[in-house]
Amino acid sequence: MKKFIIYFLLSLLNFGIYSQKPSSSSNVILKYINKIINDTNDLSAPKLMNYPTLAFSPETSWEIGVSSLYIYSAKRDLKNRLSELKAFTFYTLEKQYGIWLDHAIYTDKNAWFLFGRARYQSFPLMYHGIGSKSTLEPIARIDGNFTYFKERILREVFSDFYTGIEFDIQIMNGVSYKNTVNSFLKPNGGNGSTNIGLGWGLVYNNIHNVLNPRKGIFSEWAFLNYTDKIGSDYKLTTFLSDNRFYIPIRENNVLAFQFLGQFTSGNPPFNLLSLMGGESLMRGYYLGRYRDNHMIASQIEYRILPFSFAKRWGASIFFAAGEVFSSLDKFEIKNLLPTAGAGLRFLLFPEKDIYTRLDFALTQEGSGVYFFIGEAF
């Protein structure tokens, strides 16, 4: 499932460079963009950026949206880690809509770490089935309302080491099915469900810039237990291990690794299975194209930030491999799915060392294009 995301920001920049007689309205826009990308008066000042987006995919038709990014250091103290709040809202010509909210917030002296995301959307889900042998073409389009809220509230107990509670709420309702194949059977939880999980997490993190890590380690180990005692329709337990390593190479080059495993036991509904794909890990695959009880994936990326001959332009190359499987004894190296690609980088906030990324990923099933602020991992 290709989804091409077009940011008006770059087209406006190009317009400002090549247009000889810009209109008054374009002048206002260009002044706003210039203020964002060239304001370096106060390194400790928070930054707020709002920008429109345009996308197209077969299941949604044209999609228009607005994205916002707010970054700051607590108490404007640059010794505190960079915090980020991201928001994205969209509407499609198929009358679908949604709002996404993500955050990674550090309090003063990095004492507390709040890390989570929230989603509400009325949006189609292309369902290909369960397992590594699921069909290339979707066997159903599942429409519905999806609510997702996951939060980690972590306290630093040793230098760079955090621990605390995690909770997850996922609600799917108003479910309907379209374009089903003749042999289609609704998956577990296919009529919708409410699931609530509560658990504990451990995080080691010595990275200062969450949007562009250049050196350090991020390692998260967590479990969530979903039970009817706290209002969950299904009983299951998930375990997550997410480990990221960043090694500086030369002056501006970074070698980044990620190893992720997610394991689910119990009786999970299909929307709480381990999902593979998306804009961060296993780029090039539609998120949820592959799903099963367990998933293992890893990726490596070499980043040049920036080129030696350019102040604001850079690039990256990456490779990843992953697999979903129903039980631990079903994992086989030969079933690993590869993806690889390359991307361009533009230094959007020089004083905070934050880049936009345009990535192209190629898989054995197709390709994907991704444009976001901040690195994939």
What Å distances lie between residue 285 and 71, 173, 184, 370, CA to CA?
29, 25, 22, 11
pLDDT at residue number 156: 98
Element (H, E) at 340: strand 337-349
Q: How far is CA 318 from CA 163, 167, 207, 340, 354, in A?
A: 31, 32, 21, 6, 19
CA separation, residue 346 to residues 89, 148, 314 (Å): 24, 31, 6
Asked whether the predicted pLDDT for residue 19 surpasses 50, the reply is no
Strand intervals (E) in 206-333: 216-226, 236-249, 253-266, 274-276, 290-292, 294-304, 313-325
Q: Specify the pLDDT at position 61.
A: 82
**What pLDDT score was predicted for residue 14?**
44
State mean pLDDT over 81-95.
93
Q: Please list, in sequence order, all residues whose beta carbon lies within 8 angstroms of the beta carbon of residue 265, skipping any fewer than 6 positions away.
A: 236, 237, 293
Helix or strand or coil: residue 255?
A: strand
pLDDT recorded at residue 55? 81
In degrees and rounded to multiples of 5, residue 26 shows phi and psi of -70, -30
Q: What is the CATH number of domain 4-373?
A: 2.40.160.50
d(CA 303, CA 299): 13
Sequence-separated (6 or more) residues with CB below 8 Å from residue 328: 263, 294
Provide the percentage of residues in the chain whose pLDDT is more than 90: 77
pTM score? 0.87
Q: Which residue has tokens 């389009």? A: 141
> Which of 147, 151, 145 lies closest to 165 in space, CA to CA?
151
pLDDT surpassing 90 at residue 123: no
Predicted confidence at residue 12, as pLDDT, reads: 43
Per-residue pLDDT tens over the stretch 40-52: 567 788 999 998 9
pLDDT-based confidence at residue 301 (cuts at 50, 70, 90): very high
Element (H, E) at 25: helix 24-38
pLDDT at 77: 94
Mean pLDDT rounded to a whole number for the chain: 90
What whole-number distance in Å separates Cα of residue 35 and Cα of residue 38?
6
> How confident is the model over 72-76, as a mean pLDDT?
95
**CA angle at 105 for the pair 101 and 107, rounded to the nearest 5°:** 150
What integer pLDDT is reported at residue 362 of this predicted model?
96
**Residue 250 pLDDT:** 86
pLDDT digits (tens, 9 = 90+) for 173-226: 999 999 999 889 999 999 999 999 999 999 999 999 999 999 999 999 999 999
* pLDDT at residue 36 greater than cutoff 80: no
**Tokens at residue 341, please?**
């690609």
As given in the structure block, the two tokens for residue 97 are 């809509």
Tokens of 227: 């039970």
Report the alpha-carbon distance of residue 209 to residue 47 in Å, rounded. 14
Domain boundaries, given as residue ranges, for the chain:
4-373
- Mean pLDDT to the nearest integer, 312-321: 98
| Residue 359: pLDDT over 70 | yes
Position 283, amino acid: R
Statement: residue 244 has pLDDT above 80: yes
Distance (Å, whole) CA 192 – CA 256 = 38
Note the pLDDT of residue 229. Answer: 96
The string of DSSP codes covering 59-103 is TTEEEEEEEEEEEEEGGG-TTSPEEEEEEEEEEETTS-EEEEEEE
72-87: string of b/e by CB count within 10 Å (b at 16+)?
Answer: bbbeeeeebbbbbebb
pLDDT of residue 251: 86
